[in-house]
Every structure is written in C-alpha cells, then in structure tokens.
Structure 1
Amino acid sequence: MPLPEDLAVVETAGNLVKTLQGAFVKPAGYRPAHAHGRLVRGNFTPTDEAAPLSTAPHLNNAFTPVIVRFSSSTGIPDIPDTDPNANPRGMAIRFVLSEDGHKHTDIVAHSTPFFPVRTGEGFVQMLEAIGGVTIGKFLEENPSAAAFVQAPKPFPSSFATEKYYGLNAFKLVSDNGSGTFVRYRMTPDAGHSVLSESDVASKSKTYLFDELPERLSNGPASFKLHAQVAEEGDPTDDATKHWPGSRKVVELGTIKVDSVEEETESKREQQRIIFDPVPRVEGIEPSADPLLDMRAAVYLISGRERRAAPSPQQKPEFAAVT
C-alpha cells in the first residue's frame, strides 16, 4: 500500500492525522479515528449476479476468508458504547485473497449514508472550526456538513443489527471491459435494530463489545453486501452527494462472521492491520473521488505510527466521556 504520489495529498493527510490525534488526546498504538474496535473472522460467498459485473477474485471464487473490524467513532479507545459521540459505528472488511494474507482488498464503511465534506482539506477545516468554536459558521457555509451533523445516529442493538454504508464510488469492471459505478451497502440478515433512549440508559458502557462474542458463540452473524448502481449523471466523485433511492441495487454476496478474535490478540492485530479504502485489485477501480487517496494516506500514515508504537496490552479503564 503506497502513499499517493500527490505530495499535497500526503501533506494534508499528515495534518489530518495530527489534528485528530490532538482532538482526542489519542494514546500511542491506536487509530486517530474509530480507535475502539474488535476484530472478527468469517467468509464471503458471492451471488451469481456478482461475477458478470466484475472479474475481482472475491466476486468469482466460491468463498473468500474475511477479517472484519467493528468499531466506534472518535479516537478515544475507551469511549463508552453509550456515548452519543461513539456514533456512527464502523465496519471495515478485508477480503483475504492469498494464503499468506498479503494480497487483499478492503471495504471501509460506517453506519450513516452521510459524509460531511468532499475533500480532505474540507475535513481539516471542519476540525479546526470545532477546535476554534466556529463550527456554527462552518455548518452554515457547508450544507453537507450540517446534514451529516443533523442526521439521526441511533444506537444499534448490536454491531450485527446495524446497516453500514460505503460512501465512495467504485467502478466494477467485467471480463469484457465494461464498467459499472457502484456504492456498497451492508445490511444485517438479523434485521436492522436500534435502541430507544430509555434502552440506552439501561445499557452498560460496553454493551456492544460484550454482546458481540456472546452472539457469535450462539452462531454466525451475516450481512448482505449490496451495490447501488449509478446511472448517467450520478456524481461518482463526491461522497457528500446521494444517488436517488430509485437506483438499482444488486446483491453481491453474503458476509458471514463466526468467530471473535481473542481480545489481546485483537489489539495486537488491530495495531498492525491497515485497511485500504482504495481497492487495488483486478476488476475494481477507484473513482475520481478525492477522498479516496486522502483516506488511504491517512490510514497508512497513522498505521505506520501504530506499528512503531509499543503494543497496547492492557484493557483501558473507562473514563467519563462527554
């Protein structure tokens, strides 16, 4: 996974990492965003509709091993599951395409179809506005950021009953060279389920991360991987713009997870693993969305820092988070 060739992108990504780390006083060894997470493992099985759209290995093989990371927002590694700032939740999926794990392609998603800004520079400006207490003015001048902030972000009953959205567009390329622009969605087979305010008040600080291993001990959890298909004129280079709900949605396959990584091992592996928003696999091409290279650079820069940090061995004590 190389850094982008555009030095301006790399510089902005470095500024983003530092700004996020400063905002959350992040300990070494953790991500600057979505720091609190847990790894699970399973497999992906494609549908018959997937192969005609793309030559990508995981959309054509009988099944592909997956590593999935469920997470909470912010760079605070001990943020309570009941803190509103922990929403939206994250789901990152690695499709493991070789026995040694070195060949892979990833999907990075979160539990709202909104994203506040179109570019990395815009995200830096938003964080600076938050830090400078000028966020009200920023939201007035940036409707997409206001839409993200104001969008409902309910608490999920479980990581396994949440919907997740891949906000960037990608081009699926078939064996005859034809391309189809899509955006990914993951929908839970157990059904979408969220909590009421009174339900949240009765939950423990770790209810989501406690429930996940308990659920998987009783059987797998699964999600349908869908692709919303763009039509002529739909923007593919702007994650803040939604495509009409009437667009065709194709089911690409089923992601089934059945085991939770032991917590100490999960922490070590999370410190090492760097998810890549750019697909880097035959049969799937990135769109011209400027966030893709920016996100890839942010993940790589912060990932290299994590790998160089001491391993976080101890489970953090929960502090009051407002």
Structure 2
Amino acid sequence: MVRDASAQGASAQDPSQTAEQTIAAMTKLFGEHPGKRANHAKGVVVEGRFTPSKEAATLSKASVFSGAAVPVTVRFSDATGLPAIPDGAPEASPHGLSIKFKAADGSEMDVVTNSLKFFPVATGEEFRDLLVAITRSGPDAQKPTPVEQFMAAHPQAPKALASAATPSSFARQTYNGVNAFVLVDGAGKRKAFRYRFVPVAGEEILSAAEAKAKGPNFLVEELPARLAKEAVSFRVLAQIAAPGDSTRDSTIPWPEDRRLADLGTLTLTKAVPDSETAEKALLFMPNNLPDGVEVSDDPLIDARVQSYAISFGRRSQ
C-alpha cells in the first residue's frame, strides 16, 4: 500500500487523523479553493420533493417514509476539488447526487450517492493512500508509478473507476449508494440495503468525443434550464442484501438478482436562485439519519463523515 511519511502513524483506530491526511492529499492534488469543497467542488443545487411508496413504510418506521411527500434539497456535482473543471472532462466523473430530506416532524435524512457502480476502495485509509499515490505519480514518476502500483494491489479500484461516465444531463444518470445502510421497521426487523436512484427519463450516456465537445458548464447549466420547463424525477430504490452479502466492503457489488424495493419517487422542480451561496452552507452527512434508518458496519461511512466535517469547517471560515 502506498503511503507518505505523514500517513505512517495512522490506523483504523484514528479516523480523524486519516481524514486530515485525506483532505491534505486532496488539497495537494487540486489546490486551495477557499469556500469550496475539497472534493466535488463544482455543483448545482435544486429543490423538490420525495413521495414515499407504500412499500417504503413496510420496510422502515422512519417518518420520511410514512406517506406524505416531504421537501428535499439536492446537490448534483462533478468529481475533483477543481471548481472550474469542464463538466465533460473524464476527471469530472463520477458525478455526485446528495439529498437532504426534511420530514414534517423536524427530522432530517441525508443520502450521499455517486455514479460509480461500486467504490474503488473499502476503507478511509485506502482512499487516502490512493490519493497520496496519485500525488506522487506525476509525469516524472518512475515506472511503475505509485498509482499504478496501487491499482495493481487493489484490482477492484480500476474496475470501479471504469464505470464512470458522462451523461447528457445530471437528470439522465443513475446514482448508486455504494455504502450499505439498514432499514428498521416498526417491529424492529432489520434489512441491509444500498440506495439506487434511477432517472425516470432513462439513462443517457455520452461518448468520450461527445462529452469533450460540450461546453465547460453544460451539466450545471442544463439542469436549471430543464427544470424551468419540466420536473425531473428519479425512482428511489433499495437493493436489499441477501444473507452472505458483504455490508462492510463497498468494493463488492451485490448481484443484480437481489430484490430492488421501491422506496418512492424523487421529483425535482426548481433550481435555487443562488446555487453558490446555497451549496456553501449545505452539509450532507451520511450518518444524519432518522429513527428507522441506521448505518451498517461499512467503515467508509465514518471515514466520509470525518472528511466531510473537516472540509465543511474549512470552507465555512
């Protein structure tokens, strides 16, 4: 595993230190951009509602699934910490979809997803090490470069990254919750699951040449223009784990024959007036969950929470 000297003392028992090193590696890769996220720096904020299905209430006692539609704030984003990255650049994938559900009883639920089929690494330490390897793999790096060595030692990483793609619109891409969570019903019955957000209009992926030919801001500009004309909808699905499916390793996708439960419909209706101001104040935390939804044993959940908190603190200064 590739590490720099500062990472040698970190361990799974010290997630805050690992998170600090992760953000430091991102800053080294992408530069300092005050007021912006360390990763997924470029995005657009929109609003709408989530209407739960009848099935959702049988799977979870969370009020967000109880029946009435609830308002949502949603942020779509490009990958990297570069606020001006062209939307069609390969590095801008995977794209992100983060949602804040606001139930009538005052509870909230945050969901953080991206367009990868599964995640490249299984732990926060491995994600940090991947970033460090990239920082050491410039044009003058000796072959095999540190990132080539990392990929060879983590064969799921290049497979995961190969699933990244550029859509014709943020509204025409499927987003996956690569981390496992747990639905808890009124009787205390628990079901591990992973989110899947599927565009009702269908997925539409561009070729590399088509993406390159697009304007630098075509995704963040197209979505508000689309919403000014019509609503955008996603089916909200829960892929239910079967016995033996790993909930703690996000590099392992569950088989496609697993049950896909219908949780409801996400309907987006308008862009916020000032997306840049709105996104600076927004914090999506994977562990911000209501009674009826719980974290699993996936270590990446806490790794994300730690890193997001550091990034939020820095952009809020």
> So what's the TM-score if we normalise by structure 1?
0.89
Matches within 5 A, 1:242-253: 242-253=253-264
Matches within 5 A, 1:303-318: 303-308=312-317
Residue in 2 aligned with 1:108? Answer: 112
SS at match of 2:54: coil
Deviations 1:241-261 (A, max 9, x none): 111111010110000011001
Task: In structure 2, give the amino acid aligned to 1:243.
Answer: W
**Aligned: 1:143 with 2:155:** yes
Note the residue ranges of structure 1 that are not aligned, 5 or more in a row. Answer: 1-5, 309-322
Residue in 2 aligned with 1:76? Answer: 82
RMSD between aligned alpha carbons?
A: 1.4
SS at match of 2:246: coil
% identical aligned pairs: 39
Q: Alpha-carbon deviation of 1:7?
A: 6.7
Note the residue ranges of structure 2 that are not aligned, 5 or more in a row. Answer: 1-11, 138-145
Contact 2:117–2:163 (CA under 8 A) maintained in structure 1: no
Deviant stretches of 4+, over 2 Å: 196-202
In structure 1, C-alpha distance between the alignment counterparts of 2:164 and 2:14, rounded to whole Å: 33
**Aligned: 1:121 with 2:121:** no
Task: In structure 1, give the amino acid aligned to 2:246.
Answer: P
State which drifts further: 202-211 or 240-249.
Answer: 202-211
Matches within 5 A, 1:254-273: 254-262=265-273, 265-273=274-282
Task: In structure 2, give the amino acid aligned to 1:200.
Answer: A
Task: In structure 2, give the amino acid aligned to 1:297.
Answer: Q
SS at match of 2:100: strand
Contact 1:279–1:286 (CA under 8 A) maintained in structure 2: no
> So what's the TM-score if we normalise by structure 2?
0.91
In structure 2, C-alpha distance between the alignment counterparts of 1:11 and 1:201, rounded to whole Å: 38
Residue in 1 aligned with 2:286? Answer: 277
Residue in 2 aligned with 1:67? Answer: 73
**Aligned: 1:230 with 2:241:** yes
Contact 2:89–2:212 (CA under 8 A) maintained in structure 1: no
- Out of 295, 302, 311, the residue aligned to residue 302 of structure 1 is 311
Task: In structure 2, give the amino acid aligned to 1:105.
Answer: M
In structure 2, C-alpha distance between the alignment counterparts of 1:96 and 1:224, rounded to whole Å: 18
In structure 1, C-alpha distance between the alignment counterparts of 2:98 and 2:32, rounded to whole Å: 20
In structure 2, C-alpha distance between the alignment counterparts of 1:26 and 1:206, rounded to whole Å: 21
Contact 1:98–1:104 (CA under 8 A) maintained in structure 2: no
In structure 2, C-alpha distance between the alignment counterparts of 1:29 and 1:250, rounded to whole Å: 38
In structure 2, C-alpha distance between the alignment counterparts of 1:54 and 1:287, rounded to whole Å: 15
Deviations 1:209-241 (A, max 9, x none): 121111001110010000000011000111111
- Out of 23, 29, 44, the residue aligned to residue 35 of structure 2 is 29
- Out of 55, 58, 81, the residue aligned to residue 61 of structure 2 is 55
Task: In structure 1, give the amino acid aligned to 2:147.
Answer: I
Q: Alpha-carbon deviation of 1:197?
A: 3.3
Contact 1:272–1:306 (CA under 8 A) maintained in structure 2: no
Contact 2:53–2:67 (CA under 8 A) maintained in structure 1: no
